[in-house]
Amino acid sequence: MDFAIDLNGITFSGHDHKLATNERKHRLALEQAAQAYFDPFARFVDASRHGESREAYIGRDFQLNLLYVVHVRRAEDDLLIISARPATTDEEQYYDDQF
C-alpha cells in the first residue's frame, strides 16, 4: 500500500513500509521530503542505481533542514519517494556552491 500527499499540485507517494523505516532511521517524514522539492534553490542530480532511472534533489524543507531526497518520476506531477535523509557535508557544499 502506498501513502501519498498532494502539495502544490504534485503528488508525492511512497511505500508504507519503506517510509516507516526511513522515518525511523532518519527522523524525516514524507511531508518534509515533499517540502524540499519546492526549495527555489534545490539542486537536482542523477541518482540512478542498478539500471533504474532515479533522480535526487537537495533542498531545504520548510524548517530549513537540508535534505537529500531520491525519487522516481511516475508522471509530470507524480513522484515516488525512494528515500529521504539529511544531506551529507559534501551534498551541503554542492548545494551552497550555487551562491
- Report the alpha-carbon distance of residue 59 to residue 53 in Å, rounded: 20
Cβ neighbors of 19 (< 8 A, separation 6 or more) are 3, 30, 81
pTM given for the model: 0.92
5-51: pLDDT as tens digits: 999 999 999 998 888 888 899 999 999 999 999 999 999 999 998 88
For residue 10, give Cα distances in angstroms to 20, 35, 78, 79, 97.
21, 11, 6, 8, 28
- Report the alpha-carbon distance of residue 65 to residue 87 in Å, rounded: 9
Instruction: Report helix, strand or coil for 91.
Output: helix
The 8-class DSSP code of residue 77 comes to T
Query: Domains along the chain?
Result: 2-96 (3.10.450.530)
The confidence score (pLDDT) of residue 1 equals 57
